[in-house]
Chain A
Amino acid sequence: MSQDTSDTSRRDFLKAAGGAAAGAVTATAGCTGGTTGGNGDGGGPSGTLVYARGDHPTNYDPQQTTSGEVAKVTNQVFDPLIRFEPGTGGQLGDSLATDYSLDGTTATLTLREDVTFHDGETFTAADAKATIQRFTASSYGYYLGDENRSGYGPFTFGNWVKSIDASSDFELTIELQQQYAPFLRNLAMFAAVILSKNQIESFSGSGDPQVKLGEEPVGTGPFEFDELDNENNRVRLTANTDYWGAGPNVGEVVFKEITENSTRASDVINGDSHITDNLDSQSFQKLQDSDSASLLSKNGINVGYMAFNMDRREEFRTTAVRQAVSYAVDTEAIVNDIYQGFAAQADQPLPPDVMGHNDELSPYPTDKAEAQSLLEEAGVEPFEFELATFSNPRGYNPSPIQTANQVKSDLEEIGFTVNINQFSTFSSYLDYTDQGKHDACFLGWYTDNADPDNFLYVLLDPKVPMDAVPDGQDWVSYDTEGYSTLNAAAWANQEYMETVREAQATYDTAQRKQLYKKANEIAHDEAPWVFLDYARTLRGIHESVKRDSFTVSSVGGPYLELVEIE
């Protein structure tokens, strides 16, 4: 909103002049412009909310995808049992379950009554059971199939759920294989939303027939799935007037794809779209400078990092070497100059706002002299290594190539030789790092459930048995049985592993918090990664969106049922 009045006047004048010249076209094409909102005469919600995004998936089955673009839509159509409260950064609240508890290995949920699916069927515990079985149980007659289900199947339920009891319509009991503190948070994840048993069983069996569910998903959410327009890359949802919760406040939501960042920003500035996201820093700047749109931001729950592969490079097995590199890389310049202030310097694996973040830690300061002194003390000469990176921006690393060049030049100042190895597609990149072929690599993580376990256990525990790590060694080979390649550093610090494993099974919040603080401190000091950044979550909105009706969500959402347009 920093544009001065003289600019605005000139633009208004040109708009008026141009508008007159193009009057013939624009006068008759008024239907194509911005949309109107508010409640119509009929009393129900009216108006169309247009959400511009960078992708248009064509299958909206939450169990078949890992895509956030699918989740944006399915979160409007389906409800989870427990949800993340809007704008809270991950606080749990009631959704289809009104009461829930986790005691030992038993999760007990009381379900909301009088909720109906969009096809008119009543929601019961049987729907929740069928949903979980479709995702995880190959013995279920309507199992989605190994080749169709996303990695969230085992990640959310499969690795933990032992049995499900849905014998009562509105009581659900889930028996776990072991104590697992994050389980209730897993129930709030986008992949855990509740599908209709009626719809699941309307397909002819398991495997490929189930794939079709994503073309006309039926849920209990605030909006009904109305039309998938693949010719114009749009999805239309209509208001569910029988929704059990607050809203919806608009009659329709249209998601439309505009891949080009600057065009997407222009579309919001022009008022053709109301909300957009996932822009680059230039486009955010454009929105910030506009007088018809604004930029909303919130601390994101994510982390960007550079992992040292200790399995592949012996030099990285020395803590002092990893610390030296951490001192040499100027992360302050990365977040302020390259990410243009849309991120904060990271100092530990867990981002702020998540339980267990250790406020006493601070980022490694840029200190080349200290870096050199650490290398000398360790008796290690600076060496040549490969830094693998993806090419296309990701939320936690909006400029990967520039970041890689910054790391290269910082390290070359103290004698290292860094060879940047860039990959054109993220899939080929993950393929490479999954096989442990990198010396060092850039990666990052968005939260799934705002639980500390989702960062600390998932990304830095190798998930091998404790006795698989030789005494006195703080790394394991990628070939170790059960090794999780999500730990791209091959780091296996026994004290850290014991701490996060204990925390995973601890239900006392205060105790758990202390354990995670300790784990963060170990990770900070041992430096298996260069902690790069925590990116902010940003959204561009048009002025017609009532400001306090839209909240930026760092996990869950977007909560479009609450949005009002003027």
Chain B
Amino acid sequence: MTDGALSSTLTSAPGVPGADVNVVPTWRRLGRRLRPGLAVAPFLLYSFLGLGLPILAVVDFAFRDPAGHLTSANVRLMAHNPYLLGFKNSIILAAITSVVPGVLGVILAYTIHTSRSGLLRRLVATASGVLANFGGINLTFMFIATIGSTGLLSVWLTYLHINLTSLGFNLYSFYGVVVVYMYFQIPLMVLVITPALAGLRASWREAASNMGASPWRYWRHVGIPVLMPSVLGGMLLLFGSAFAAYATAETLTAGTVTLAPIQIGNLLAGNAISGQVNVGYAIGLGMFVVLAITMVLYGLVRKRASKWLR
């Protein structure tokens, strides 16, 4: 394809540009005009079939009843329980597991960033990359083996006469999911925020202290305002990641916790209640809307953050 494009320009190169155009047949000129498009056509077609079409299908199916007639009943169901509760819980879960790991991630990243050990910094960078991609069944097993009813930490704590279950903690519940999600959310925050910390120039701090500012005033007027957009952006990213996650919550609670993605899984797998499948598509549409809003906000915050990080 591209070979032809170049050879035709090469053969026409010695000729006079004006006269040359008339020599080339019309169909060839058309071909040359279309060729750039043709080269990226497979990718564009694939993205349409693999991304565009499925999204259109979700929207379409969310507005249909089992017989295929148009209806808004499924979408209206989202304002009622248990689906409203699913969205509410999902948003609360995502909010907790974006703010708490967000703050902890910044503290951890700062501790490591200001450390003098290059080895530690490299180790943490690699580990964060690996741990941020943890999830699903492996992570579930790791936490069952740690703080499940006969887990290692649970057993250790009973020696200290601390019983997690009698304290009200249950790994297979909403707060169990919170604890497990932190495992990949904190490393994700470390990955996202480290470039921003590197952008915090030492000269700003030196300038502030030369002018007599205390460390607290430096953070209050320089450090935190500069970092804030990046921190918010990172938290929005964590929000999206926790809101969309399915595998970990599903394998940990076996589908018993009320979260929007878990409800989709239950509606799709539960063939007994056929006719409810369309409701799953309406939840999917709702999730898509929440995530689209999150990502638009992320884009806006990112633009603000890049002002200082060059």
A-B interaction: no
Interface, chain B (partner A; CB < 8 A): none
Interface, chain A (partner B; CB < 8 A): none
